[in-house]
């Protein structure tokens, strides 16, 4: 089976002296990189194409329904007779994607290209069997339906209006968390670093809000490690919620946050990839931020916590 992946590089305002193409082999993938003029002729687009062959019959197993996962989404084969090839298509895609991501990042580095964080856009995948027949496949973009669902309760919009009219704004920590969440697939290292920063910023802002005379210290002096602040500072704060000092950070959240800090340190010092489940890490950090919202005087934040967290705050 021959699998082909075609990407457009995420790059802004590229000027190419003339359209050009280069072709080469790398790690059993045939690569083609080309610059082409955009319809308006002002700037160039860069396309990266990879082609590889999957020969191992062991790859051709029925995946149950003709659906298989890739890092970019779901590969779906609508024709029932082709569903046994789903795993082979994914194997080829992943083989190509490893090479093309290296190509794309080197292009950005070598030419100083600016662009959105994901390396590529406009991805297409095609596959052709040895007999020349093309498979009818579709690449469905990755989604996280279960994680991204939210509920607006009755009178919830009125409560939001009250926050606005009382000059409340979304805390910076939540803005950072949202950036981290949106980067979790395309840039896991950046996602982790920003996510941990969100937890640190959230706690510092709570301290500044509850202990105003300490705000200059929080802003201008390097703070202790996050775990130290959670253990030794948070229990002593005059919070605006009825939670015992020893229960203010549930153990399961503190464990996840401490592990995230250690993971973050490996990322920034060694360039390593996150070890822990990034999704679970970020969800734990968001719960921590909503706990801090409770402590700053927003009782509605409790409804956004998981039952396990609410129970840990109140005790048996």
Neighbours of 292 (CB within 10 A): 26
Two tokens, residue 140: 């469905």
Higher pLDDT, 117 or 164: 164
What's the pTM? 0.71
Q: Is residue 107 in a domain?
A: yes
pLDDT at 68: 58
Q: Is residue 283 located within the same domain as residue 159?
A: yes
pLDDT at 71: 59
Q: Is residue 202 located within the same domain as residue 252?
A: yes
Name the range with the highest mean pLDDT among 27-41, 47-61, 216-230, 278-292.
Answer: 278-292
pLDDT at 248 over 90: yes
Q: Is residue 156 located within the same domain as residue 136?
A: no
Q: Is residue 50 located within the same domain as residue 123?
A: yes
CA 70 to chain centre: 15
What percentage of the chain exceeds 90 in pLDDT?
50
Domain boundary among 122, 141, 160: 141
pLDDT range class, residue 14, cuts 50, 70, 90: confident
pLDDT at 40 over 70: no
What percentage of the chain exceeds 70 in pLDDT?
89
Q: Is residue 132 in a domain?
A: yes
pLDDT at 173: 95
Q: Is residue 125 located within the same domain as residue 210?
A: no
User: Euclidean distance between the first and final Cα of the chain, in Å?
Assistant: 59
Count how many Cα atoms sit within 13 Å of the Cα of residue 234 in the half-sphere of its side chain.
31
pLDDT at 176: 95
Q: Is residue 136 located within the same domain as residue 174?
A: no
What is the rounded average pLDDT of the residues 1-21? 88
What is the rounded average pLDDT of the residues 20-40? 88
Q: Is residue 121 in a domain?
A: yes
Q: Which domain holds residue 39?
A: 2-141
Domain boundary among 86, 106, 141: 141
Domain boundary among 76, 108, 141: 141
Q: Is residue 121 located within the same domain as residue 235?
A: no
Q: Which of 26, 98, 89, 102 is nearest to 53 (CA)?
A: 89
Q: Is residue 112 located within the same domain as residue 194?
A: no
pLDDT at 63: 46
What is the number of structural domains in the chain? 2
Q: Is residue 146 in a domain?
A: no
pLDDT at 265 over 60: yes
Instruction: Average the pLDDT over each of 1-5, 130-134, 290-294 and give the range with the smallest value.
Output: 130-134
pLDDT at 58 over 50: no
Q: Is residue 183 located within the same domain as residue 308?
A: yes
What are 77-134's pLDDT values in tens digits?
777 777 788 888 888 988 999 999 999 999 988 888 888 777 888 888 889 988 888 8
pLDDT at 33: 95
Q: Is residue 162 located within the same domain as residue 303?
A: yes
Q: Is residue 165 in a domain?
A: yes
pLDDT at 227: 94
Q: Is residue 124 located within the same domain as residue 177?
A: no
Q: Is residue 74 located within the same domain as residue 166?
A: no
Pair 3, 127: CB distance under 8 Å: yes
For the chain, the average pLDDT equals 86
């Amino acid at each position: 089976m021959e699998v082909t992946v075609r990407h457009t590089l995420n790059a802004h305002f590229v000027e190419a002296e003339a359209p050009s193409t280069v072709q080469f082999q790398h790690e059993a993938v045939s690569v083609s990189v080309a610059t082409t003029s955009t319809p308006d002729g002002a700037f160039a687009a860069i396309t990266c194409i990879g082609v590889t062959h999957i020969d191992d019959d062991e790859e051709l197993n029925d995946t149950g329904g003709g659906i298989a996962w890739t890092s970019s989404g779901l590969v779906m084969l609508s024709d029932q007779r082709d569903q046994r090839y789903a795993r082979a298509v994914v194997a080829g895609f992943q083989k190509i994607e490893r090479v093309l991501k290296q190509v794309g990042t080197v292009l950005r580095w070598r030419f100083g290209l600016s662009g959105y964080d994901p390396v590529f856009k406009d991805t297409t995948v095609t596959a052709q069997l040895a007999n020349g027949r093309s498979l009818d496949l579709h690449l469905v973009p990755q989604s996280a339906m279960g994680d991204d669902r939210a509920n607006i309760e009755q009178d919830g919009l009125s409560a939001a209006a009250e926050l606005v009219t009382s000059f409340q704004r979304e805390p910076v920590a939540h803005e950072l968390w949202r950036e981290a969440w949106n980067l979790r697939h395309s840039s896991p290292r950046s996602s982790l670093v920003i996510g941990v920063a969100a937890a640190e910023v959230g706690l510092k802002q709570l301290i500044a809000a509850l202990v105003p005379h300490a705000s200059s210290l929080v802003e201008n002096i390097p703070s202790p490690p996050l775990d130290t602040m959670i253990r030794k500072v948070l229990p002593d704060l005059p919070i605006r919620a009825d939670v015992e000092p020893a229960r203010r950070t549930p153990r399961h959240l503190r464990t996840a946050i401490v592990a995230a800090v250690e993971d973050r340190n490996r990322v920034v010092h060694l360039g390593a990839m996150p070890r822990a489940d990034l999704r679970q890490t970020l969800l734990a950090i968001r719960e921590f931020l909503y706990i801090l919202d409770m402590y700053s005087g927003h009782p509605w934040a409790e409804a956004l916590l998981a039952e396990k967290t609410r129970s840990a705050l109140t005790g048996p």
